[in-house]
Amino acid sequence: MAPIAVGATLPDGTLSYFDAEDNLQQATVHSLAAGKKVILFGVPGAFTPTCSLKHAPGFIDHAEELKSKGIDEILLLSVNDPFVMKAWAQTYPHNKHVKFLADGSAAYTHALGLELDLSEKGLGVRSRRFALLVDNLQVKLANIEEGGAFTVSSAEDILKVL
């Protein structure tokens, strides 16, 4: 399947996360994004070097600026289970705005056409690194990385177009 592109409607799918009261929740992507301007960004894996040291922290650190430019939600997607995503989120105690979403079976990642097979590295099927700017479910910007690169999907890259 071809990767999601500008002009496409964001597919729906169910993702898991822990809420502020530490309850495991499931939500559809459409319930999180319909009628809103959102950034959906994906990473290959929780606790991996680039994801943990650059990609996620960039969106956390720039969240207030992104929100001041009209972003309603900042959603982080990874092919990990919700317990791993919860533990990873807890490593950023200053995070107030980035929601860590689990796509444990990679079903939503496949729906986006953004899977990355890292089986040779012992990681299985993961998500490509990407950042989507979505307005009321319509993709306005699709910055999708090749392989494990980190050149077009940072918070700074999104801020340049807002």
Which of 33, 39, 51, 60 is labelled catalytic? 51
Question: Among this protein's residues, is 116 annotated catalytic?
Answer: no
Q: How far apart are CA 81 and CA 24, in angstroms?
A: 11
Chain length of the chain: 162
Residue with tokens 């597919």: 11
Neighbours of 160 (CB within 10 A): 9
Regarding beta strands 98-102 and 37-43, do their DSSP bridges make them parallel or antiparallel, or are they unpaired? unpaired
Q: Which residues are catalytic?
A: 51
